[in-house]
Amino acid sequence: VQLVESGGGSVQAGGSLRLSCAASGFAVEDYTMGWFRQAPGKEREGVLCMSKHDGTIYYGDSVKGRFSFSSDNAKNTVYLQMNGLKPEDTAIYYCAAGVVGSSWCLREYGLDHWGKGTAVTVSS
């Protein structure tokens, strides 16, 4: 099982980025998938996740209305669309996957596989 994130970079406040997470060794449509981030000096936090149980997407409070999740099963890839970026969105962004479907996925419950991350920097 492998997850590889891409699409990070530097952007000005108010801009947009789309991160990709390419999976191998399993089918993303069969797993709970999530995006997380860790800013310098802070703990890792949940950005959003989609539970495989019923397809519900759970959002972190700080990204509601700005970030969204999508997937392309043919490419076995999930995406994080980030709009209205703010300097406080600066972080390393990680993709995660797990076999357990849970509303607790945003708290990393059941997520067993992690990518190495991609860096996002938002300047004011």
**Strand residue runs (E) in 25-115:** 32-38, 45-50, 57-59, 67-72, 77-82, 91-98, 113-114
pLDDT in tens, 58-101: 999 999 999 999 999 999 999 999 999 999 999 999 999 999 88
Confidence of residue 30 (pLDDT cuts 50, 70, 90): very high
**Region 29-43 average pLDDT:** 96
Confidence of residue 42 (pLDDT cuts 50, 70, 90): very high
Residue 40, pLDDT score: 92
**Region 16-44 average pLDDT:** 97
State the Cα angle at 117 between 37 and 78, rounded to 5°.
85
Contact predicate 113/99, CB 8 Å: no
Confidence of residue 53 (pLDDT cuts 50, 70, 90): confident
